[in-house]
Amino acid sequence: MTRGRLLALFAVLLLGVIAVWLWWVKPRQVDMATYAPADSLLYLEANHPTEVVGALAGTQAWKTLAGIIESKPTAPQSPWLQRFVGWTGIGPIKSVILARAQVAVVITDLRTAEEGETLNIKPEGALIIETHTSESRIKSTFEETLRTLAEKTYSHPAFRRVIIEGVEYSEWIAPEGSRQIVGVVAGSLALIGTSEHVVQDCLAASQRRRPSLKDDAELHSMRRRLEQGRALTFGYVPAKNSAKLLALGLPLLLGRAPGDSEFQRLISNGAAKVFGSLGWTSDTYSTGIEDRYLISLQPSIVAHLKPTFVSNGVSSGPRRVAPNEVYSVTS
């Protein structure tokens, strides 16, 4: 075999090895609902957080705010470089995590506590980050970031490590002892929660030791109806929890304390008979962000209302006489 053929064969083999390596290291997008407990009150996800940050920075509102606070915009990383870091995992670890990560937020409970004349609402929840990067690479950076966050939030937090069922938890506790930040890294998954309990629930869901929202058929239906695949972010409230959230939120809108159990029960019972699941997406539009909401109703309500919503075939008059620059017309 001639030298030229050997070089050509070597080049082909090298290109083959590189192609296999690129296929191997490319992150595969996962369904973040897999990590969310099935009984979550609220679920939010962003499969491309860098795009969310870029979209917000490009809005007119952010540019106006940056001008008011005299904030100097940071030079954005080139899209090509972001794609390279995200695909290969080569680069500074923080850049790798940002480029490859998928993010979700779950709220599992909303607790209220009265302090004098002030009503405090304390959500129980967790931030879920699928880093698509090995635990050995992300753990030290993850803990250092949490330590900085805890020190800025709590001033002088107490730190401790706890091992539960073979998993190491890092905890930063506020001086008064009523608030804490709990973090854990399990493989490529990083969890940050407000308590050990909520982090354990998310970890158990990710390991299929307890039901997750991935098994919720209504969630998948809501994604399709809202075209979630094209959106920057997606939010979901299961049908069984929409009434509970309404029972907590409506009294606040009406100026009443959520602690009124009788009033809450009345709202919850009524809402459960009317409302189903709730969905939400956001995406870029012009110089801002456009939100879309979908509130489903119980089948019995839809069957009752359907005969009322029948087109009478009358054409819209304003459509013919309104000038082109009109933003909205309601008929």
Structure confidence at residue 38 (pLDDT):
92
Phi-psi region of 91 (alpha: psi -120 to 50; beta: other; left: phi over 0): left
Average pLDDT over residues 309-318: 66
Residue with tokens 């509102």: 61
Average pLDDT over residues 36-44: 93
pTM, whole model, 2 decimals?
Answer: 0.82
Cα–Cα distance between 325 and 290 in angstroms, integer?
19
| Residue 218 clears pLDDT 80, i.e. is over it | yes
Structure confidence at residue 70 (pLDDT):
61
Structure confidence at residue 103 (pLDDT):
95
Residues 231, 232, 238, 243, CA torsion sign: negative
Average pLDDT over residues 214-234: 89
Structure confidence at residue 245 (pLDDT):
77
281 against 243, higher pLDDT: 281
First-last CA distance in the chain: 81
Structure confidence at residue 201 (pLDDT):
94
Three-class secondary structure of residue 101 per DSSP: coil
Structure confidence at residue 242 (pLDDT):
80
Percent of the chain clearing pLDDT 70 (strictly above): 84
- Please name the residue ranges forming H helices in 101-216: 135-154, 196-206
Average pLDDT over residues 10-24: 82
Three-point CA angle 76, 81, 84, nearest 5°:
145
DSSP codes joined into one string, 157-178? -EEEEEEETTEEEEEEE-TTSS
Q: How confident is the model at residue 73 (pLDDT cuts 50, 70, 90)?
A: low
Q: How confident is the model at residue 252 (pLDDT cuts 50, 70, 90)?
A: low
Three-class secondary structure of residue 293 per DSSP: strand
Q: How confident is the model at residue 58 (pLDDT cuts 50, 70, 90)?
A: confident
The H or E element that residue 7 is part of is helix 3-25
